[in-house]
Amino acid sequence: MTLFKTFLGTAAALAVTAGAALADPAIIFDLGGKFDRSFNEAAFNGAELWAEETGGSYREIELQSDAQREQAMRRLAEAGSNPIVMAGFSQASALSVVAPDYPDTTFVIIDGVVDEPNVRSVIFQEHEGSYLVGMLAAMASESGTVGFVGGMDIPLISRFGCGYAQGVRAVNPDATIIQNMTGTTPAAWNDPVRGGELTRTQISQGADVVFAAAGGTGLGVLQTAEDEGIFSIGVDSNQNYLHPGSVLTSMVKRVDVAVHEAFTAGADVETGLFVMGLAEEGVGFALDDNNAELVTEDMIAAVNDARAAIIAGEISVHNYTEDGMCPVE
């Protein structure tokens, strides 16, 4: 169970942390909150699993603005939390300032890299998992046109989109791929109305499968896809359950595993750079009762063959963030 649940800025609540037991782990959720049904919620699930298994307590903070990041990290470090997990790449700048001031505290950042001796940086090979769901999208599409709705226009999300496009074209070289980003500010993660609008636009252009990599904005994509009778693909968490029979699959990113491992290791968690791809089971595609009738055995076999080939190095999925380019348009 969590020791306290509060929004940063409530000084009285934050003061409670000072009296907590030393070395309780902590997590700072990124903008969008821990119940975004996507990235943050995956992180929350990892923390909750640790608490259930151990009976331990952890501290948490849900950010309301970018300006609160550094303050949140310092509050938790001064309260004795160890390790402190930061969910989201946007926390990297603040962490690079804070980490050197607390050399005896171990910090863990997910989706970002901070080169400090007391920081564990965990990144994912999103392009590998996105390749697999791109294959499924192409195999499920009847129109030969599929879509992608990203959140904030940043290289990380382009990595999703590029991997997806490569998977689509591996199945159907003549496929049309429509890609849109929601915006250029953090607000792009929390605009389901805009997500729905972009989805309808893509549908009008022929898309019958749309992959959403957009945080809370993606909820609008999934809802609109169901309303309009097409397939959607979820992201980060397994979102198949949100619209059973409409969500083709979800590109699962095991943020929950990264948090659970950090909490389990405690203050002794190993620092440095850790990469989680298909080989490490850090990314993949979701199969369950909610999409069992949508994904055939032949589709699963094809994707599993591709997964094995990627791990073996027989298929190379281009990583957009290496050069800012994608071989598929």
What does the domain layout of the chain look like in residue ranges? 14-124+257-276, 126-252+296-323
What's the pTM? Answer: 0.89
Give the model confidence (pLDDT) of 70-114 as tens digits. 999 999 999 999 999 999 999 999 999 999 999 999 999 999 999
Amino acid residing at 10: T
Q: Which CATH class is domain 126-252+296-323?
A: alpha beta
CATH number of 14-124+257-276: 3.40.50.2300
The length of the chain is 329
69: part of which helix (H) or strand (E)?
helix 69-78
Give which of 159, 141, 118 is closest to 251, Cα–Cα: 159
Strands (E), the chain: 2-7, 26-29, 58-62, 84-87, 107-110, 119-124, 145-152, 176-183, 209-213, 231-236, 247-253, 272-276, 283-285
Give the model confidence (pLDDT) of 24-51 as tens digits. 999 999 987 888 888 999 999 999 999 9
Q: Which two tokens stand for residue 126?
A: 């999103």
User: How many CB atoms are located within 10 Å of the residue 298 CB?
Assistant: 9
Give which of 264, 257, 258, 266 is closest to 83, Cα–Cα: 266
Alpha-carbon span 224 to 218, nearest angstrom? 10
Average pLDDT across the chain, whole number: 92
Determine contact, residues 276/122, Cβ cutoff 8 Å.
Answer: yes
Give the model confidence (pLDDT) of 263-296 as tens digits. 999 999 999 999 999 999 999 999 999 999 999 9
Determine contact, residues 135/101, Cβ cutoff 8 Å.
Answer: no
126-252+296-323: same fold as 14-124+257-276?
yes
Asked whether the predicted pLDDT for residue 304 surpasses 70, the reply is yes
